[in-house]
Amino acid sequence: MLTRQFQIKLDVGLHARPAALFVQTCNRFDSEIILKRDCATVNAKSIIGVMGLGVADGDEIELMIDGSDEAEALETIEQFFEEKMKEK
């Protein structure tokens, strides 16, 4: 299992379009991907779950990835956040 913390630096947080793109990215992998904010955890492959967390600009999140392609998933998600944060 791999874990990584991120600080969200997106004006709209992880809502609407960024959330949809994040979920699409996570769904490319077989690994289980869990998104945690504060005490709440959700399946990162669920748009309803991700949007339900209400992740705002400046919030800290943690990803927990477990599975056969976990390293590739983590690397891809890191790239996703780097690209999205540059768009801010």
User: What is residue 27's predicted lDDT score, i.e. its pLDDT?
Assistant: 98
List active site positions: 15
Lowest mean pLDDT among 63-67, 71-75, 80-84: 80-84
Q: How many domains does the chain have?
A: 1
Q: Residue 31 maps to which CATH number?
A: 3.30.1340.10
What confidence tens digit (pLDDT) does each residue in 4-62 have? 999 999 888 998 899 999 999 999 999 999 999 999 999 999 999 999 999 999 999 99
pTM reported for the whole predicted model: 0.92
> For residue 36, what are the domain limits?
2-86
Band of pLDDT at residue 88, cut at 50, 70 and 90: low
Residues 8 and 58: beta-carbon distance below 8 Å = yes
Is the alpha carbon torsion for 6, 59, 65, 49 positive or negative?
negative
What was the pLDDT predicted at 84?
A: 81
